[in-house]
Amino acid sequence: MDKKVILSGIQSTGNLTLGNYLGAINNWKKMQEDYNCYYMIANLHTLTVRNDPETLRSNTLNLLALYLAAGINPEKSSIFIQSQVPSHAELSWVLNCYTYMGELSRMTQFKDKSAKHADNINSGLFTYPVLMAADILLYQADLVPVGEDQKQHVEITRDIAERFNKIYGETFKIPEPYILKTAARVMGLQNPNAKMSKSSTLENDSIFLTDEPEVILKKFKKSVTDSENIVRYDEENKPGISNLMEIYSAITGSTKEDIEKEFAGKGYGEFKTAVANCVIEELKPLQEKYKELKSNPDYLEKIYKEGAEKAYQVAHKTLEDVYKKIGMVWL
């Protein structure tokens, strides 16, 4: 039976956080059993901001190692580096010509990133959703795992694909957003009203997957809570403690009610330590595998070369169909 196709990826900027792991990668590992999965390292998307070249190269390979260490199996999924499949950039240019300025100007991410990078509001930042659409449509993805805040990107992808199909006939599969009910929404430890981010400037706000155990413990102990000192879930009035409960629940499988009972009368200090310890134990095998992979660059090279080849075969077929339909002379 044919499996549905899933496409997802993470930018190769900075270090992956606990939020990336619990919200995305840990679910990717489960999805590869039931779907035909393409997991990319989105390094072309990083170019909307200025990067140190050596740091970007290093981050790209680190992210590959983290994908593998977290359980993404290259025999079950296609793992590839976006820039190594030229079809992404090629289809992006074509789709730019079928995307309207008004559509792009309404994208929330453009407004947010423009505010953060006021000194570098470049055209790549504006057309970022078109490259994302090319990523998705090249692999004829059925589903795109996204959070509620990313649905807009899938919606504009659908609009572009439907417009192209209407002009040239059935070319692209129309993707659906796949919002995982089991995906944890992990917020910052210092600002629990914002998602935990690789780029947070707040000290101790993010748990990184490569943080040492003592660093993880320290960050959780410093996490912002409230003065009530009662472990109780209340997202509006107790965002800090509610966030810690989300993390503990995602790792242990305990319900919010179970957690409230388990820590009744114990206070925040004991709960913070318990959350830190369960995170440390969860990340221990991943960290050990990551160190092993990083010591074997030849194996990592083999994986990304094979992954690029597998991805190219599919992406190039879609691009060929597009080029022929719009009138390009094909070799």
- Active-site residue flag, 317: no
79 pLDDT band, cuts 50/70/90, is very high
For residue 156, pLDDT beyond 90:
yes
Q: Are strands 176-178 and 143-145 parallel, antiparallel or unpaired?
A: parallel
> Is residue 117 very low, low, confident or very high in pLDDT (cuts 50, 70, 90)?
low
- Looking up tokens 């006939």 gives 169
Residues 143, 144, 146, 149, Cα dihedral to 10°: -100
- What pLDDT does 147 receive? 75
**Residue 23: per-residue pLDDT:** 87
Per DSSP, which regions of 1-55 are E strands? 5-11, 36-42
Q: How confident is the model at residue 176 (pLDDT cuts 50, 70, 90)?
A: very high
DSSP one-letter string for 225-291: --SS------TTT-HHHHHHHHHHHHHH---HHHHHHHTTTTHHHHHHHHHHHHHHHHHHHHHHHHH
What is the tens place of the pLDDT at every residue in 287-316? 999 999 999 999 999 999 999 999 999 999
Which tokens sit at 142? 């059925």
Alpha-carbon gap, residue 196 to 201, rounded angstroms: 11
Is the separation of the CB atoms in 268 and 231 below 8 Å? yes
Q: Of the listed 198, 221, 256, 289, which one is catalytic?
A: 198
In the sheet that holds 36-42, the strands lie side by side as 78-81, 36-42, 5-11, 143-145, 176-178
**Confidence band (pLDDT; 50, 70, 90) for 126?**
confident
> For residue 125, what pLDDT is reported?
83
Residue 150 has pLDDT above 90, yes or no: no
Q: For residue 198, indicate whether it is catalytic.
A: yes
pLDDT value of residue 179: 83
**Residue 60: closest CA among 308, 229, 310:** 308
Which residues pair with residue 81 across a beta bridge? 41
- Catalytic residue chosen out of the listed positions 113, 219, 238, 272: 113
Task: Report whether 22 contacts 186 (CB < 8 A).
Answer: yes
Exactly one of 4, 76, 173, 195 is catalytic; name it: 195
DSSP summary character for residue 48: G
Least confident of 8-12, 105-109, 224-228, 250-254: 105-109
pLDDT at 111: 66
218 is catalytic: no
Q: Is 69 helix (H, G, I), strand (E, B) or coil?
A: helix
Q: What is the pLDDT of residue 273?
A: 97
Cβ–Cβ < 8 Å for 293, 72: no
Q: Can you tell me which residue has the tokens 């990133």? A: 113
Reading the block at residue 127, the tokens are 């057309």
Provide the CB-side half-sphere exposure for 51 (13 A, CA).
20
DSSP reduced 3-state for 191: coil
Predicted local confidence at residue 331, as pLDDT? 76
* Residues in CB range of 273: below 8 A, 6 or more apart: 217, 220, 221
What secondary structure does DSSP assign to 92-111, as a single string? HHHHHTTS-HHHHHT-HHHH
